[in-house]
Amino acid sequence: MFYWFLKFIALGPLLRVIFRPQATGLDNIPESGPAILASNHLSYADWLFMPLTLSRRVSFVAKAEYFTSPGIKGFIQKHFFRGSGQIPIDRSGANAAEGALMSAKEVLGRGELFGIYPEGTRSHDGKLYRGKTGVARLALETGVPVIPVAVVGTDVVAPPGKKFGKITRPMVRFGKPLDFSRYEGLENDRYILRSITDEIMYEIMNLSGQEYVDTYATRAKEESKRLEKEAAAAAAEQKKAAAASSAVEDKKQAS
């Protein structure tokens, strides 16, 4: 009930008035029955705007910290995320993937829509990164179609590392459902899982227009941070050397 209150009375109307989100391919979303919505992930705002364009409920898994924070803020946050369709999952444990899969199966088993970000984390630079095979395994184990989704413009509304950026008009594009029933019974074949995942990511790339990078987003983020640290260290050394050279020059002039 709280989900629909947020969507149609409290939060949804406000977001529609301010941002005026657009959507294409809405006829690709079934009026009833389960489906997996596999989307790119540019911003924390993605889970707000994608469901906002649909008349049906969409559920996602979210990190457990959103549901366990103490105090009044934590209480409000927990009920907000739970009421808005988020399912808590401990992503730090060894069985995080299994827990997410079980939660997804429960949602799909009820005939609902389940949203998933195959990249596993937000893109730090706007590029589309290699998908993890959990989405393929979920599709094969449930026999549910996968609908590729591209959300565009949310990285302007809420850029990485910031709570808010600029007001723009987000676009959500829903692609045609992908049927992987031809691979039934092969959910433990890692080559099949990789092939399915790559097919899904290819469709997302076509919808979003993003540059595709065949490496995992988490690895790319780590590499980016490493390069930033090296660049900062090099700049500091250069500044130090320049200061030392200037001091020597001043001493020469003084003498």
Return the closest-CA partner of residue 204 out of 24, 41, 53.
41
Exposed e or buried b for every residue in 223-242, given b needs 16+ CB within 10 A?
eeeeeeeeeeeeeeeeeeee
Which tokens go with 52?
């906002």
pLDDT at 11: 81
Per-residue pLDDT of the chain (255 residues; tens, 9 = 90+): 667 666 767 788 888 999 999 999 999 999 999 999 999 999 988 988 999 999 999 999 876 666 666 777 666 666 667 666 677 776 555 566 777 888 899 999 999 999 999 999 999 999 999 999 999 999 999 999 999 999 999 999 988 777 788 899 999 999 999 999 999 999 999 999 999 999 999 999 999 999 999 999 999 989 888 888 888 888 878 888 777 777 666 676 666
Q: Are strands 171-174 and 212-213 parallel, antiparallel or unpaired?
A: unpaired
pLDDT at 96: 63
Radius of gyration, alpha carbons of the chain: 22
Helix (H) or strand (E) holding 231: helix 217-254
CB 104 within 8 A of CB 114: yes
pLDDT at 83: 67
CB 134 within 8 A of CB 56: no
> What's the pTM?
0.84
